[in-house]
Structure 1
Amino acid sequence: MNTQATSSPQFYLTAPAPCPYLPGEMERKVFTHLVGARATDMNDLLTQGGFRRSQNIAYRPACENCRACLSVRIIAKEFRPNRTMRKVLAANADLTSTVFPAQPSTEQFSLFRRYLDDRHQAGGMSDMSALDFAIMVEDSHVKTRVIEYRLPPEEGSERPGELVAVALTDILSDGLSMVYSFFNTDLHKRSLGTFMVLDHIRRANEMGLPHVYLGYWVNGSQKMGYKIRFLPQEHLMSQGWTRYQPDADPS
């Protein structure tokens, strides 16, 4: 397969495979390679068009009989946390976060493996090795960062506090795209997944970026249900990005 950058991107279509979100459905994806000097601009354009990035590939669903996957982005400056989210922010006020270049660490991989073993034992990433993880983090030709979230250090210790959550994030011209995130699932009372989304909304506002891209939402998929709680948000429909109008604002 030709992976060289050209003046126009070349798109490919995957073979049908079982859908990971809706039982009984088959999925196909259209994808292209994000390489070369234009990778950053292309990632911006494709993300705004409903694509997601995985390593140096941008992809989006191209299923023949289903349109359930909807691209979701939060309108950052209009977002106001509800009561439950304010409790999550308060519960994690002691955490420190640091932004790094997209470089993996042994500590990150250890947390990643614990996360997969607890939450995604049967998923497509369940057998990822340390090398696979390193490629996932490093294989990016766009502006990607790793954000680490840590507990306070132990009293009297010069070592940093325990790593409890990590986000792999692309910085776009119009927002932050949460490529992948994982966390210590034992700390369920902290709702670390929700907290990382809230933190990205804060960061987007501080950077003057209008959106936080969350990837795809599938109505009826339990593993994607959390995305719909961050309002207001837009969904990419046939007529373009459209403000989502829920029946009731979730509390």
Structure 2
Amino acid sequence: MSRDISPDVKAIRLFLTEPHACSYLQNQQATTAFVDPGLRVDKNLYSYLSGMGFRRSGRYIYAPRCKHCNACIPARIPVAQFKPNRQQRRCRKQNGDLSIWLTRMVNESEHYPLYRQYLDSRHADGDMYPPTVGQYRDFISNIHDYSAMMEIRLKGELVAAGLVDILNDGLSAIYTYYSSGLSKRSLGTFSILAELMLARELGLPYLYLGYWIKDSPKMAYKDRYQPLELLRDGEWAPMN
């Protein structure tokens, strides 16, 4: 990592939200720290912040700063060491007819209906529901200089998509959405396997998965991808 970005890191202003209901754990209050939205965060600085456990959501770069809880633990997969389990190998095999590529061009007339269907079927109780085109543009299709869209297609039809940021040391998986009508294909699992493949092809050592939360079914699934590294006390180390 370039040393010349350290002074910028020290100068970053963080803005804290008021405590609000946690999206992942019941009866918990969450506080989020946002990097000053007026600061220009280039790829080098963003890569450094990701290594410190920050994430991106739309135009914001953030990290949890909850007073009484530290359940959100940054997680990443070391690409070269990843060993798929039996279910993941089966998923990869049964989806061998799907095509995968990265693009910076997002066709909203194709992507937004898939995004809307995904939220309708899986996250109707979430913070982003109900979806709107404006929300989609702000959150997904406003591609940054360091971003790309992973498209997964079946005979030309878009069946899954994943927004990724291309960092200095890895891919950061920002958000994935996929068809609810192909449940037997386990497209959520396959999307992560596809991101691992793309990271390997790009020569990037890590796939950043966001936060692992042991007691949240929405986030605990990440420990199925081994070896998984977690950021604790400022150091990345294997979870086991």
**TM-score (structure 2 length as normaliser):** 0.91
The reply to whether residue 163 of structure 1 matches residue 174 of structure 2 is no
Q: Name which of structure 1's ranges 95-104 and 235-244 shifts more when overlaid on structure 2.
A: 95-104
| Runs of 4+ off more than 6 Å | none
Q: Name which of structure 1's ranges 210-219 and 90-99 shifts more when overlaid on structure 2.
A: 90-99
Residues 51-78 of structure 1, C-alpha deviation per residue, up to 9 Å, x if partnerless? 1101221101000000000000001101
Is the 2:104–2:143 Cα contact (8 Å) retained in structure 1?
no
Percent identity, please: 37
- Residue 17 of structure 1 corresponds to 20
Is the 1:170–1:179 Cα contact (8 Å) retained in structure 2?
yes
Q: For residues 6 and 74 of structure 1, what CA distance do their matches in structure 2 show? A: 25
Residues 156-194 of structure 1, C-alpha deviation per residue, up to 9 Å, x if partnerless? xxxxx2211000000000000000001012211101011
Displacement after TM superposition at 1:103 (Å)? 3.4
Q: For residues 39 and 239 of structure 1, what CA distance do their matches in structure 2 show? A: 22
Is the 1:104–1:137 Cα contact (8 Å) retained in structure 2?
no
- Residue 158 of structure 1 corresponds to none
- Residue 177 of structure 2 corresponds to 182
The reply to whether residue 48 of structure 1 matches residue 43 of structure 2 is no
- What is the aligned-residue RMSD (CA, Å)? 1.9
Q: Name which of structure 1's ranges 141-150 and 83-92 shifts more when overlaid on structure 2.
A: 141-150
Q: For residues 111 and 26 of structure 1, what CA distance do their matches in structure 2 show? A: 32
Change (3 A) 1:139 1:36: farther
**TM-score (structure 1 length as normaliser):** 0.87
Matches within 5 A, 1:27-106: 27-33=30-36, 38-101=41-104, 103-106=106-109
The reply to whether residue 210 of structure 1 matches residue 210 of structure 2 is no
Change (3 A) 1:103 1:6: farther
The secondary structure found in structure 1 opposite 2:44 is helix
Residues 108-148 of structure 1, C-alpha deviation per residue, up to 9 Å, x if partnerless? 00000000001110111112211210121244544000111
The secondary structure found in structure 2 opposite 1:20 is coil
Higher helix fraction (1 or 2): 2
Any gaps of 5 or more consecutive residues in structure 2?
1-7
The reply to whether residue 231 of structure 1 matches residue 226 of structure 2 is yes
Letter in 2 for 1:172: L
